[in-house]
């Protein structure tokens, strides 16, 4: 089993970067290509993440997208969120059975939708 460490940092030039190190294998930090991420997606990567098996997820109830990092291939993926916060709903992302799930509940608590992301590579959510 390999263990990897992810580090995001702000360089001296003011640019945000992302590097990864495989413990016991790499002798130096490897840059992670983030070119496929939007500026907003990259801003999310600097915040707390959820872990789901071989993926790390960054999701924010205020954002229209979710970012995933396939730790094995060291590739970022950005895809649409199943819902976006409004003044009438509450959104919660959780890691469930090694996948990402999203709960959308109205403030009156009369309705709730649960979405599951079976395969982050497709970015397609399934409603339960």
pLDDT at 89: 79
- pTM for the full predicted model: 0.84
Number of domains in the chain: 1
pLDDT at 122: 93
122, 111 Cβ separation under 8 angstroms = no
The answer to whether residue 109 scores a pLDDT higher than 80 is no
pLDDT at 23: 93
Query: 3-37: per-residue pLDDT in tens?
Result: 899 998 888 887 788 999 999 998 999 999 888 88
pLDDT at 11: 81
pLDDT: is 101 or 12 the higher one?
Answer: 101
DSSP 4-54: EEEEEEE-TTS-EEEEEEETTT-SS-EEPP-TTS-HHHHHHHTS--EEETT
Provide the domain limits for residue 29. 4-127
For residue 70, give the nearest of 59, 83, 57 by alpha carbon.
57
Percentage of the chain lying above the pLDDT 70 cut: 98
Query: 39-98: per-residue pLDDT in tens?
Result: 888 888 877 788 878 899 998 888 889 999 999 999 999 999 987 777 777 888 898 888
């Amino acid at each position: 089993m390999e263990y990897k460490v992810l580090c995001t940092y702000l360089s001296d030039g003011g640019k945000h970067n992302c590097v990864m190190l495989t413990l016991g294998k790499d002798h130096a930090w490897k840059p992670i290509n983030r070119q496929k991420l939007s500026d907003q997606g990259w801003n999310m990567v600097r915040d707390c993440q959820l872990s789901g098996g071989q993926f790390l997820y960054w999701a924010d109830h205020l954002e229209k997208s979710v970012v995933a990092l396939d730790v094995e291939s060291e590739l970022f993926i950005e895809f649409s969120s199943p819902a976006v916060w409004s003044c009438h709903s509450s959104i919660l992302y959780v890691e469930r059975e090694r996948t990402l799930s999203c709960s959308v509940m109205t403030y009156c608590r009369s309705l709730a939708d649960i979405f599951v992301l079976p395969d982050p590579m497709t970015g397609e959510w399934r409603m339960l």
